[in-house]
Every structure is written in structure tokens, then in C-alpha cells.
Structure 1
């Protein structure tokens, strides 16, 4: 026979369960609001930084698509209170800037800012600096842009086995031939990218000293220092590598106001 409990004992237990359930639902609701508020705050910060970066890129006489900004780290609001952010990523596409009358194009410029400092007032008003301890940038220069600087119609540049390659037509001793070869790519002391073509050849080239002299002179004529457009965020070029999609440029800087690109 089941034991019966007085009604006066059952009701407090039911009330206790209801209070606990209500408290859990309330906590879930509040947590949801905090998550929403956190994501909204991230969106505001990302738009603020994107607007400032776009303005500064335009001041340099350059063009690009609208910057894509991502502020990493969850939760974001605790970073706001602290005024320090783990990482901010900025992507610029189709960056173009005139260099000595030519438009050098970076198809992509990825910027990774670490340990970023910004006050709440800066994010709220858009005034003031957002300073990063370190900034690393990787950009890609299209081979078409580089080929245009060589001023040799028909020349094409590319990559093979990690080397910069060149092919193109020319005339030698009244004969049309196709030249091909590779180049060394280094960062010059002035920050430009130096292209040194030193290994050219041509199928069917006559085995004559005059023909070889012509090839050597041709290699010298297309060996140039490519002046890069002024990179945003005070980035200084450290390395250049040929890739299938273009010439990859790696740059870095320290203690940089990332919302002041000049």
C-alpha cells in the first residue's frame, strides 16, 4: 500500500521545482541576450575599422574593394572592457595603386593584427587610434601587372618549381624566336622587388656569339626593380616568392595604428 504524504508537504516541493525551472529559463534567456549583444558589438567594431581603413587607403591614391574585417576572440565584450583584442584580420581585394605611371595590382592583401589596443570610446566614436603590437601582411601581385612594367609586348610571367618564369617573342638576326627562362626575385635595399633574369634561352637560336650576346642584353633589359605601391599599416616588405597565382609579398610592422593606414 502506497504511503500518502500530506498535501501541505507536496505543494512546497512543486513550488521549489517551478522556481528552479523559472530560474534556469531566465538564465538561458539572459545568456542569449548577452550572446546577441556580443555579436552586435563585434559587428559595430568591424564596420568602424573597415570604414577607417577604406578612407586611409583612398588617401594614398589607391583603390580596393570594401575591406573585410574580422575581430577574433569570444566573448568580445570582455575584450572591450579590457581595451585589448586578441586578433583583428583585414582583407583587401583588388588593391591598385599607380607606380611610375603604371597601375601595380595586388589581387589580395591579407593583414593580421595581433594584440590590438583600442578604447571603448574609440570604437564608439571612430575617433582615436586602434594600435596593434604586431601586424603581418601577405599580398599577391598579379603577373600581368609585372609584365606591363617590363614594356615588352607579348612577354608573359608565371611560376614553375618556385621560380619566376618568362616567355615571349622577339626578333634576333632577322629571325622570330620565342625566349624563355627564369629570374631571381629578391627584396632590394630600397624596398622594391628586384627581378634579375639571368638564365634565358631560345629554341632554334643560332650557336653564334652574337646571338648569345643578344640574349644576355635582352635579359639585362627586362631585369628591373619593381617599385611597390606604399603598403598600408606601415608594412615593410621582408620576403617575395613566386606562386602560381602571382608574386607573393610578405611584410610586417610593429606598434601600428591599424585604423590609420598611411
Structure 2
């Protein structure tokens, strides 16, 4: 019986070799499919980035070249279906002009979900890329906002979760430093309003006229912020002071994220 062992082991060894070969081939094939999938996604991302650039230009705005990432895997099945789980767009150094005043948004992140785009649209760049929901988050720099208020020496910053102001003011012949915070509201149409209702100044003369002058200064810097039209029909829903600036949250539904050809 001992002499039969070598003959029984040979088929087993051949079987293992065949199995290993099949596994290797499957892994290679899977790798090639992943590579092809990512290459196709890259082509689509570049095509969408070019169309987003045109959309931004339509709003009389400027930005660095858009950065686009198509989410979801595999990508090719999404192409065939004409629907994409998510398209993320990053716009840097966004600048627009409103009433002659420049508004700076260092970074605008746009997250488009449930995006519809035909294969022909992706390939040719002609047609609409429509997103069911679009959410945008950006930051308005405090320097840019201070320029809009147009008060020499005025500085804005975040303080305990609120928008704080510091500014030199001449009141009754005295140079005082005014400090305080603002209430921020967002209107139905996405209009952002700043109201400085809580200002004070150390050393303020204890006379009604001094208090009236301080109140007038507060009214002078209480403004409706002239935000530029955001791309993709985004409407502002919330504004929060952060250390780096005013964080703006906006959204929209059923909108094109490209310029239709």
C-alpha cells in the first residue's frame, strides 16, 4: 500500500496548481477591471470639470480649475445606468463681484447626489448633468467682509461662536476702541444680514450723546451682506462664525451642475 502514495499525490498537486493559476488569473482580471474603471472615471471627471468651469463663468465669477471626483464603485455600471451616486466638486479661490465689491470664498465644496447624465453627455460634453440634491459649504474670509463694511481699522473674528467686531472710533473728541458682537440671520431668499446690537467702548463718556453716536456707528456697520450668486442655483441656509471666517451652508434640488451644450 505504501507504494501507492506517490501516484495519489500527483493528481492532488496538479489540482492545486490549476486552482492557484485560476486564482491568479482572476486577481489579474479584477485588477485590470479596476484600472479600466478608474481610467473611465478620470475621463468623466475631466469632462465634468470643464463643464463646471463654464457654469462658474456664467455667474460672472472666477475660481481655480475645478477639482471633480466621481464617487461610487464600480463607475462603469453607473455610466450604463446614467445615474451617479455622488459627484464632489471643489472650487478654490472663488471670487465674484456684487455692487462693485469683491467677495472672497477661499474654498467652496459642492456635493451633488443622485446625478443624472447620459453616456452621450459624458462622452461629448453636450447635454445636461442634473443632480437631485446639491449641498455647498464655503467660507467668507473676515478680511473680505471687513472691506465691505468699509470702516478703517475694523476687524472681525469669531468669539465664543459669535461674530465679534473690534474697531477704533472717535466719539466726542476721544479715540475709543469699540467691541461687540453681531446677530447673523438668513432670509428666505438666502440673504445674509449682520446686526451689531451689542456694542460697547471702554471709557465711553456717560452722556446720552456719546451713547447715541455709538448706536449710530452700530447701525452703520449693520448690513445685508452682498453675497455673489452661488453656482448651481445654491441658496444659503445657514451662516456660522468659525475661526477662519463665516461658514456658509447652501443647498438646491433638481439643478444642472453644468452648462448645457
With the length of structure 1 as denominator, give the TM-score of the two structures: 0.93
Measure the CA separation in 1 of the matches of 2:138 and 2:172: 41
2:163 is aligned to 164
Native 8 Å contact 1:93 1:108 kept in 2 = yes
1:160 CA displacement: 0.7
- Pairwise CA distance, 1:79: 1.3
In the other structure, the counterpart of 1:241 is 240
Distance 2:232 2:218 in 1: 35
5 Å-filtered alignment, 1:200-239, equals: 200-239=199-238
> Structure 2: any 5+ residue segments left out of the alignment?
none
Q: In the alignment, which residue of structure 2 is the partner of 1:35?
A: 34
- Aligned residues of 1:241 and 1:249 also touching (Cα < 8 A): yes
Alignment of 1:1-262 (within 5 A): 2-4=2-4, 16-260=15-259
Alpha-carbon distance between aligned partners in 2 of 1:78 and 1:255, rounded to the nearest angstrom: 22
Deviation of 1:15 (Å): 5.1
Q: Secondary structure at the match of 1:3?
A: helix
CA distance in 2, matches of 1:18, 1:190: 69
- The number of residues matched between the two structures is 260
TM-score (norm 2): 0.93
SS in 2 for 1:205: coil
Alpha-carbon distance between aligned partners in 2 of 1:248 and 1:103, rounded to the nearest angstrom:
17
Larger displacement relative to structure 2 (9-18 or 65-74): 9-18
1:135 Cα deviation from its structure 2 partner: 0.6
CA, structure 1 residues 167+6, in 2 after alignment: closer, same or farther (shift >3 Å)?
closer
Indicate the RMSD between aligned Cα atoms, in angstroms. 1.9
- The whole-number CA distance in structure 2 between the counterparts of 1:97 and 1:221 is 24
CA–CA separation in structure 1 for the residues paired with 2:25 and 2:106:
49
How much has 1:20 moved relative to structure 2? 3.3
Higher deviation after alignment, 57-66 or 214-223 = 57-66
| Inter-partner Cα distance in structure 2 for 1:114 and 1:16 | 48
Q: For the residues of structure 1 that align with 2:6 and 2:134, how far apart are their CA atoms?
A: 71
Taking the aligned partners of 2:5 and 2:204, their CA distance within structure 1 comes to: 108
* 1:233 and 1:260 in contact (8 A); partners too: no
Offset from partner CA, 1:161-204 (integer Å, 9 cap, x none): 11111111111111111111111111134432111111111011
Q: Is the 1:141–1:248 Cα contact (8 Å) retained in structure 2?
A: yes
**Cα distance change, pair 207–10 in 1 and its aligned pair in 2 (3 A):** closer
2-side partners of 1:194 and 1:43: how far apart? 41
Seen in structure 2, the aligned counterparts of structure 1 residues 6 and 142 have a Cα distance that, compared at 3 Å, is closer
